[in-house]
């Protein structure tokens, strides 16, 4: 009986364990999905203007160049693209809504003139780190003006108030320091920039901040801000600090402009007077020098001539001592040879002659012309 049961069981087809087969397929599918996901998460791309910072279990591991790279999948390694070649910008006292040919700004004057909408105001408030609640446009405008006023209103060293708007452009020079040494890089730059600019404006006068010291403030602000960020080891390189505008408060701006206009007119008159002075004085000095040099030349000429006459007289006198009559006769003849050519009509009178001693006129001129 047992042998028969065994033979019957051998003739029956085997039963399939569908539960076991389904579980195997599920495991295979899960492995394939995990492998595909892991492969996908292992490949990352770094843009051309960035550097890739790879973190392993949250700790810095390496920095990669632009291109396609591999990393450990899932939570083991995580890659962050840091834009190291991009010049970024922070604005203080105003915001740029639209850059280009027709650049649009958002400042206190635009808010007062109602040239801004609620969306722009909400974005400005949100970027300042505050939460935006449902409010009317007028309430948003007042809050936005308070934020901007807190940035651009500064006190100078001579206890005057001035409105300063400026721009800070920067790049990331050390991705590791930028990611791991500061928690809020953008807010850190803004706080450091305001601290540096307020210190510079507070140590100077209102005239320096508005007119004559703008370039010096830009150079000093860049150096001081870079030094401060290096002390914090932020990995940020300051490209430039540019004063967009520096003006007195809006309520006193017309009076201040009138004062500046008067000062400019004063400088113009001074420059015109200096121009006239520079044209007249050198010319007069040149003419005076010319007269002096002419007088010196004339004096030297007369002195030399007198010295020559003295030397000549001394030589003649020496000869006269030797033979007075001959020398006297020679001097007389030499003098007459110089005088007679200058006389137009010549009359020769013989001493002791008849009829007054007048001789016939000799036509010397004709003889001279015939020769």
For 306-325, how does the pLDDT look when each residue is reduced to its tens digit (9 = 90+)? 898 888 888 888 877 888 88
Contact 165, 92 (CB under 8 A): yes
Residues 18-46 as b/e (b if ≥16 CB within 10 A, e otherwise) read eeeeeeeeeeeeeeeeeeeeeeebeebeb
Confidence of residue 330 (pLDDT cuts 50, 70, 90): confident
**Pairwise CA distance, residues 106 & 122, whole Å:** 12
Beta-sheet pairing, 77-82 with 51-56: antiparallel
Most confident range, picked from 7-16, 102-111, 184-193: 184-193
Q: If we measure between CA atoms, which residue out of 46, 76, 48 comes closest to residue 63?
A: 46
**Across the chain, what does the average pLDDT equal?**
82
- Per-residue pLDDT, 98: 78
Q: pTM for the whole thing?
A: 0.63
Mean pLDDT of 50-65: 91
Collapsed DSSP state (helix, strand, coil) of residue 355: helix
Q: Cβ of 212: how many Cβ atoms within 10 Å?
A: 11
- Name the token pair of 230: 């290096």
Residue 190 in this model has a pLDDT that exceeds 70: yes
pLDDT at 33 over 80: no
What's the pLDDT score for residue 371? Answer: 45
d(CA 134, CA 25) in angstroms, rounded, equals: 54
pLDDT range class, residue 41, cuts 50, 70, 90: confident
Res. 5: pLDDT tops 70: no
- Residue 211 makes CB contacts below 8 A (sequence gap 6+) with 260
**Does 346 score more than 80 pLDDT?**
no
- Lowest average pLDDT, out of 4-13, 49-58, 117-126, goes to 4-13
Q: Is the pLDDT of residue 369 over 50?
A: no
- Stretch(es) of the chain classified as CATH 3.30.479.30: 88-251
pLDDT at position 99 is: 74
CATH number of the domain at 88-251, please? 3.30.479.30
Looking up tokens 């028969």 gives 4
pLDDT of 10 > 60? The answer is no
Reported as a single tens digit per residue, the pLDDT across 166-183 is 999 999 999 999 999 998
User: For position 114, what pLDDT does the model report?
Assistant: 72
In eight-state DSSP terms, residue 349 is B
Mean pLDDT of the 46-52 span: 92
The predicted pLDDT at position 229 comes to 95
Are 124 and 142 in contact by the 8 Å Cβ rule? The answer is no
Q: What is the pLDDT of residue 75?
A: 79
Rounded-to-integer distance, Cα 238 and Cα 173, Å: 10
């Amino acid at each position: 009986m047992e042998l028969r049961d065994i033979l019957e069981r051998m003739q029956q087809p085997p039963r399939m364990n569908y539960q076991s087969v389904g579980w195997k397929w599920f495991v295979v599918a899960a492995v394939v999905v995990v492998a595909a996901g892991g492969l996908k998460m292992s490949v990352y791309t770094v843009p051309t203007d960035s550097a890739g910072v790879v973190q392993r279990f949250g700790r810095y591991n390496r920095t990669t160049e632009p291109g396609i790279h591999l990393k450990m999948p899932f939570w083991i390694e995580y890659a962050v693209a840091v834009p190291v070649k991009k010049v970024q910008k922070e604005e203080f006292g105003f915001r740029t809504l639209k850059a280009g040919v027709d650049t649009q700004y958002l400042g206190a004057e635009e808010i007062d003139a109602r040239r801004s909408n609620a969306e722009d105001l909400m974005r400005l408030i949100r970027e300042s780190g505050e939460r935006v609640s449902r409010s009317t446009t007028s309430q948003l405008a007042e809050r936005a003006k308070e934020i901007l006023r807190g940035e651009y209103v500064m006190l100078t060293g001579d206890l005057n108030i001035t409105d300063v708007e400026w721009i800070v452009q920067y790049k990331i020079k050390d991705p590791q320091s930028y990611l791991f040494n500061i928690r809020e890089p953008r807010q850190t730059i803004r706080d450091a920039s305001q601290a540096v600019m307020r210190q510079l404006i507070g140590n100077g006068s209102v005239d320096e901040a508005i007119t004559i010291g703008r370039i010096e403030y830009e150079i000093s602000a860049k150096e001081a801000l870079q030094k401060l960020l290096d002390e914090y080891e932020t990995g940020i390189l300051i490209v430039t600090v540019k004063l967009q505008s520096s003006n007195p408060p809006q309520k006193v701006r017309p009076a201040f402009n009138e004062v500046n206009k008067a000062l400019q007119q004063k400088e113009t008159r001074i420059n015109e007077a200096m121009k006239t002075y520079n044209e007249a004085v050198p010319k007069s000095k040149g003419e005076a020098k010319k007269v002096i040099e002419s007088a010196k030349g004339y004096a030297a000429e007369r002195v030399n001539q007198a010295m020559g006459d003295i030397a000549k007289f001394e030589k003649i006198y020496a000869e006269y001592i030797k033979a007075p009559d001959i020398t006297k006769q020679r001097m007389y003849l030499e003098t007459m040879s110089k005088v007679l050519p200058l006389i137009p009509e010549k009359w020769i009178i013989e001493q002791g002659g008849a009829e007054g001693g007048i001789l016939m006129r000799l036509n010397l001129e004709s003889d001279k012309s015939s020769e």
